[in-house]
């Protein structure tokens, strides 16, 4: 594997592509990437857990200081029903379109740059924050434009984005279900040896990887994959949520914004300002999320691992409940050196699929042969009649039935 540079000081931003990196191997996800960084909203589910949780909370998040839009507000063709979630960077609302169908609307409103009083629509932006507010607004809009080009069942669907009230709104499909975080917490409360079943994990993550491959094919990065940002529909199919470019742009451009990452799920290169980011960065977070599904908690933080790495012990404990193949896959994703991880989701998904197929073949080979189905009574009766009428072995046919002669 070619050793791609990690430390050039360049980070990708929407509309500003990185130069191609040399690689001697064929890659499914090669090329240039744009950052789709998460905002500080935990998820879009009104029933989701709202207490601070290590699998949800991002460092750098601040509580909202602006008021949400009033219930009943009309935005373009959408009417606000209620607030679903909020953070230091944006609000998410449940709304209905002109047909009455529910949608989720995300509003750009960073609390460090703007204020909105209760009952008002347009935020007030102080003069000293105007440039940063406009910069974030620009990239929030670009985020919507980028996501609108992606149509995949495992990626949140952006159906519209528009400017109004001196800010930007992103309209997404509204889905019913629960976050993966909620599934993990529920299973952990049951005290199971296996937090989530391996078959379930393999099925969910294979579908999730298909969606993330589509994101990378569009030269985008997510950079905050974690259980709270993965939504499971009622049929258990996954959706990758909470993309957000604007927060990262402000992090790089404005000194007042701290880097935002989720401890345990953030790759080590996210802790530095001069690290090269790529698909391998999302793959680290994917491995950390896999680990959380198996252990019921986040892995050790990457910056702590660089000082005292205890993950080998944690992974060894998982081998008592899960196959070595799945644990090996997690270990591969969680390597601290980016070049030692899978360099594309295509490669990672291929390994997962081959493992799963091999397990299925082993199970089929070791399964006992099914017992022959018992024949109907009428069929057994006819067989007995045929045996009675057939000549006995070694007895001439004429002697059968002649004993009374």
Please compute the mean of the pLDDT values over residues 241-253 and round it to a whole number.
Answer: 60
Please compute the mean of the pLDDT values over residues 335-350 and round it to a whole number.
Answer: 96
Percent of the residues in the chain that have a pLDDT greater than 70, as a whole number: 70
Query: Do 355 and 201 touch, CB atoms closer than 8 A?
Result: no
Asked if pLDDT for residue 129 goes beyond 80, the answer is yes
Asked if the structure places residue 203 within a domain, the reply is yes
Would you state the pLDDT for residue 244? 52
Would you state the pLDDT for residue 150? 92
> What's the N-to-C CA distance of the chain in angstroms?
94
DSSP state at residue 315: H
Asked if pLDDT for residue 2 goes beyond 90, the answer is no
Please compute the mean of the pLDDT values over residues 85-114 and round it to a whole number.
Answer: 91
Query: Which residue would you say has higher pLDDT here, 295 or 14?
Result: 295
Its domain, for residue 345, covers: 34-361
pLDDT (tens digit per residue) in 176-230: 899 999 999 999 988 877 899 999 999 999 999 999 999 999 888 888 899 999 9
Would you state the pLDDT for residue 29? 38
CATH number at residue 281: 1.10.510.10
Alpha-carbon span 266 to 301, nearest angstrom: 8
Alpha-carbon span 147 to 156, nearest angstrom: 8
Q: Lowest-pLDDT range, 35-39, 175-179, 299-303?
A: 35-39
Would you state the pLDDT for residue 262? 85
- Looking at the DSSP assignment, which residues form a beta bridge with residue 155? 240
Asked if the structure places residue 380 within a domain, the reply is no
Please compute the mean of the pLDDT values over residues 245-253 and round it to a whole number.
Answer: 55
Alpha-carbon span 374 to 275, nearest angstrom: 68
Asked if the structure places residue 25 within a domain, the reply is no
Alpha-carbon span 219 to 352, nearest angstrom: 23
CA atoms within 13 A on the CB side of 197: 4
pLDDT (tens digit per residue) in 374-402: 555 555 545 554 555 555 544 444 443 44
pLDDT band at residue 113, thresholds of 50, 70 and 90?
confident
Asked if the structure places residue 257 within a domain, the reply is yes
- In degrees, rounded to 5, the angle at the alpha carbon of residue 352 between the alpha carbons of residues 149 and 39 is 40
- In degrees, rounded to 5, the angle at the alpha carbon of residue 287 between the alpha carbons of residues 299 and 196 is 75
- Residues in CB range of 214: below 8 A, 6 or more apart: 150, 152, 154, 155
Please compute the mean of the pLDDT values over residues 274-298 and round it to a whole number.
Answer: 93
Number of domains in the chain: 1
């Amino acid at each position: 594997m070619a050793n791609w540079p990690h430390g050039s000081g360049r980070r990708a931003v929407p509309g500003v592509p990185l130069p191609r990196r040399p690689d001697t191997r064929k890659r499914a996800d090669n090329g240039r990437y744009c950052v789709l960084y998460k905002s500080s909203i935990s998820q879009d589910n009104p029933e989701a857990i709202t207490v601070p949780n290590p699998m949800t909370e991002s460092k750098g998040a601040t509580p909202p200081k602006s008021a949400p839009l009033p219930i009943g507000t009309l935005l373009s063709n959408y009417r606000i029903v209620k607030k679903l979630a909020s953070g230091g960077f944006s609000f998410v609302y449940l709304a209905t379109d002109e047909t009455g169908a529910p949608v989720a609307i995300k509003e750009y409103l960073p609390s460090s740059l703007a204020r909105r009083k209760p009952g008002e629509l347009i935020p007030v932006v102080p003069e000293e924050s105007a440039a940063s507010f406009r910069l974030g607004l620009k990239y929030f809009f670009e985020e919507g434009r980028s996501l609108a080009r992606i149509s995949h069942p495992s990626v949140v669907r952006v159906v519209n984005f528009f400017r109004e009230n001196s800010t930007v709104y992103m309209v997404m499909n509204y889905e019913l279900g629960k976050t993966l975080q909620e599934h993990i917490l529920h299973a952990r409360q049951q005290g199971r040896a296996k937090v989530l079943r391996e078959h379930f994990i393999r099925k969910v993550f294979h579908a999730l990887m298909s969606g993330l491959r589509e994101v990378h094919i569009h030269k985008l990065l997510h950079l905050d994959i974690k259980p709270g940002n993965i939504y499971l529909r009622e049929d258990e199919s996954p959706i990758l949520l909470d993309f957000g470019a604007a927060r990262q742009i402000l992090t790089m451009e404005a000194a007042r914004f701290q880097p935002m990452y989720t401890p345990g799920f953030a790759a080590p290169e996210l802790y530095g300002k001069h690290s090269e980011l790529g698909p391998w960065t999302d793959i680290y977070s994917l491995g950390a999320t896999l680990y959380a599904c198996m252990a019921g908690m986040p892995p050790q933080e990457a910056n702590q691992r660089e000082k005292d790495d205890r993950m080998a012990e944690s992974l060894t404990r998982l081998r008592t409940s899960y196959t070595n193949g799945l644990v090996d896959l997690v270990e591969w994703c969680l390597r601290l050196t980016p070049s030692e991880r899978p360099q594309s989701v295509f490669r990672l998904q291929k390994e997962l699929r081959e493992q799963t197929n091999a397990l299925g073949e082993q199970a089929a080979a070791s399964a006992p042969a099914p017992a022959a189905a018992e024949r109907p009574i009428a069929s057994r009766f006819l067989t007995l009649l045929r045996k009675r009428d057939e000549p006995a072995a070694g007895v001439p046919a004429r002697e059968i039935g002649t004993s009374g002669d």
